[in-house]
Amino acid sequence: MNLFRLSWKYLTFRPLSTGLNVFLLALGLAIITVLILVQDQFEKKMTQDAEGIDLVVGAKGSPLQLILSGVYHIDFPTGNIPIDEAKKLSRNRLVKRVIPLALGDNFQGYRIVGANYDYLDLYQVEFSEGKIWELPFEVVLGAEFAKKSGLRVGDKFTGSHGISIGSHEHEVHAYQVTGILQPTGTVLDRLIITSIESVWYMHEDEAEEDAGLEASSHEEKYHSPVAISGFPENGEGKEITTLLVQYRSPMAAVQLPRMINSGTSMQAASPSFEMSRLFELLGVGVSLLQGLAFVLIIISGLGIFIALYNSLKERKYDLAILRTLGASRFQLLILVFLEGIMLTFLGAVLGILLGHTFLSVLISNNDQGVVSSLQAWIFLKQELWIVVYALLVGIVASLIPAWSAYQTSIAKQLTKA
Amino acid sequence: MLFESRNLKYSHPGQNPLTFPDIRLEGGEAILVLGKSGSGKTTMLNLLSGLLVPEAGEVLLDQVNVASLKGAEADRFRGKNIGIVFQKPHLLAPLNVKENLEVASHFSHNKGQDIFQLLQELGIGKKANSRVQTLSEGEAQRVSIARAVITKPKLILADEPTSSLDDENTEKVIQLLKNQAAKIGAALIIVTHDQRVKNHISNFIEVNTL
């Protein structure tokens, strides 16, 4: 029997009050854990996804929407831009590299993105199976989508029109899988990537079919290789959705966006700028949650203080007995502190576990979109700080009770009864 | 001489000073401290145990002046050398019988007697793992005696140990205290106003400080 076990016995002697305090503290800390985890992973993901993209050019509209649809593939695109204007922009001396993207279709809610080889290069992704597309209607699957859909190399599927699930299907052409990418932890994992030509032909033929023309007259172009880099060759008069731009020099950051926004029918938006604006907007909600968490933690701190203080009043006699058995004042001080510390330590451990569990439930309820790509069971260094904060709460809550235990006069206590 | 108190004086704030009779005891000897309630019996016990510091006089236990010890040193000395039995058992409720005794050995830094054998001797061997709330008054008082003697102290102090017990339990408790004191060679001082106790211990002093 040592001080540690003795404290533990006193704690478990009042299971309800101890349980309630531990739970309150755990709830507060769980919210903070979730916030820390989400914030950390979101920010990492957001920067990772936008790595190497200095500017996104698309149709006029909301710049945030343009970034969300063009880089992160969350929101709807603002519209399309004429390829001629995009080509003109790509010849600007401030531009190092452009990657054109064509959006418009999905398969089971996963976006089919028309791009070129540079897009895969941007994320430095390797193939885990098969190879890159060479002909129209050949596609490459992101790792996460491949896993969820169960599609393999050589399989065929038909996309549906629109960005979200449930639109009508393109029955004229089927996509064929030529490769599956390795997981990258980026937006690429959730995409189906193909050539821009695939997206174009898919929509052209629909239109022509509706107009009564025969699709077979296009046989030839379906068997010619697609563009590897830059724009497709036969693109006169056609449209693309967004253009990802890499600057040649820092000067471009100053000149290029202004030039595009005022001098063309397109708009330019910077991912880093728009994302920091978004985080600013979300910040209100985050601080609200943080506030709630702190209120919970303070209440639990008070609860611990009151529980210790009350139990100490009942326990003054016990403390006096311990003194007569040879315990020093200092040992009684430690006894009370240990109780507060053990209680909050339990709360911290439970809180962190609860936080991770919350997040994993959240993730399993969202099998598409950004939330699904978060990971619940990653442990961060900041979580150690949660334990430290919790222990501080425990120490502060035990200060007064511990001091009053220290001050207890044995003779007075024993003669009182 | 194992235990000796000389010329003890103490005054409660705002009251007349109390003077106490001297006590001299060898190991294994017992003495009763008799007196009416309010006569200062408990104050004397607190002085003898070092819980209160006398204004004058000294308490010597095994050549150590109890009143001269300070702080943690005094606590440890008390835990190791003095066993106290109170009027009420005051066992620690979250702990079972065995754990209550373990606490005493822990704080006195003294391995002391074997818990199970001691409980056997006190006739509560089967209660080692019982919760203290389930004990009868007599059993609880016997556990508190066990707690006082587990560390083999040199002095056993008992403060009205029988006042809430019936005749049968009173006799048992007094016999147990005497036997244990004799076994470990401790001096035994029982503060009481209970006439029943006198039948068992003839040696007594009277506190009449009024």
Nearest C-alpha of chain B: how many angstroms from A11? 9
User: Is pLDDT of A312 > 90?
Assistant: no
Q: How many residues make up chain A in this entry?
A: 417
Which of the four pLDDT bands, split at 50, 70 and 90, describes residue A210?
Answer: low
Among A323, A332, A318, A100, smallest CA distance to A230 is for A100
Q: What's the pLDDT score for residue A42?
A: 83
Placement of tokens 């890499």 in the chain: A246
Q: Is A400 exposed, middle or buried (0-12, 13-18, 19+ CB in 10 A)?
A: middle
What's B62's DSSP letter? T
Band the pLDDT of A285: cuts 50, 70, 90.
Answer: confident
For residues A284 and A181, the model is more confident at: A181
Q: Which residues of A329-342 are buried (b: 16+ CB within 10 A; e: fewer)?
A: bebbbbbbbbbbbb
pLDDT band with cut points at 50, 70 and 90 for residue A368: low
Cβ <8 Å between A414 and B51 = yes
Coil/strand/helix, residue A139: strand
Option in B42, B71, B75 nearest A327 (CB):
B75
Distance CA(A34)–CA(A232), nearest Å, equals: 45
Q: What pLDDT score was predicted for residue A225?
A: 82
pLDDT, tens digit, for every residue of A322-363? 998 989 999 999 999 999 999 999 999 999 999 999 999 988
Alpha helix positions (H), chain B: 41-48, 71-81, 97-108, 115-121, 137-149, 167-184, 195-198
Structure confidence at residue A81 as a pLDDT band (50, 70, 90): very high
What mean pLDDT comes out for the span B127-139?
91
Domains in chain B (CATH in brackets) are: 27-35+70-206 (3.40.50.300)
* pLDDT tens column, A127-161: 999 999 999 899 999 998 998 889 999 999 988 88
Category of A219 on φ-ψ map: left (φ > 0), alpha (ψ -120 to 50) or beta: alpha
Checking if the pLDDT of A307 tops 50, the result is yes
- Cβ pair A325:B147 closer than 8 A: yes
Return d(Cα A101, Cα A240) in angstroms, integer. 6
Give me the interface pTM, i.e. the ipTM.
0.91
What is the full DSSP assignment across A349-361? HHHHHHHHHHHHH
What mean pLDDT value characterizes chain A? 87
Phi, psi of B51 (to 5 degrees): -70, -30
Please tell me the predicted confidence (pLDDT) of residue A209: 58
pLDDT tens digit string along B17-59? 888 899 999 988 999 998 887 778 888 888 898 888 888 889 9
Q: Do A326 and B99 make contact, defined as CB atoms within 8 angstroms? A: no
* DSSP H helical ranges for A132-229: 143-149, 196-210, 219-222
Local confidence band at A416 (pLDDT 50, 70, 90 cut-offs)? low
pLDDT at A170 over 80: no
Mean pLDDT calculated for residue range A98-121 = 91
Gap between the Cα atoms of A41 and A374, Å rounded:
7
Chain B neighbours among A 286-325 (CB < 8 Å)? 317-318, 321-325
When pLDDT is cut at 50, 70 and 90, the band that residue A215 belongs to is: very low
Residue A417 in contact with partner chain B when CB distance is under 8 A: yes
For residue A364 the two structure tokens come to: 């399993």
pLDDT of residue A371: 74
A388-394 average pLDDT score: 91
Task: Kindly determine whether residue B52 and residue A317, on different chains, have CB atoms separated by under 8 Å.
Answer: no
What is the per-residue pLDDT for A212?
52
pLDDT higher than threshold 70 for residue B153:
yes
- Report d(CA A392, CA A397) in Å as an integer: 8
In this structure, the dihedral spanned by the alpha carbons of residues A322, A326, A330 and A335, taken in order and rounded to 10 degrees, is -40
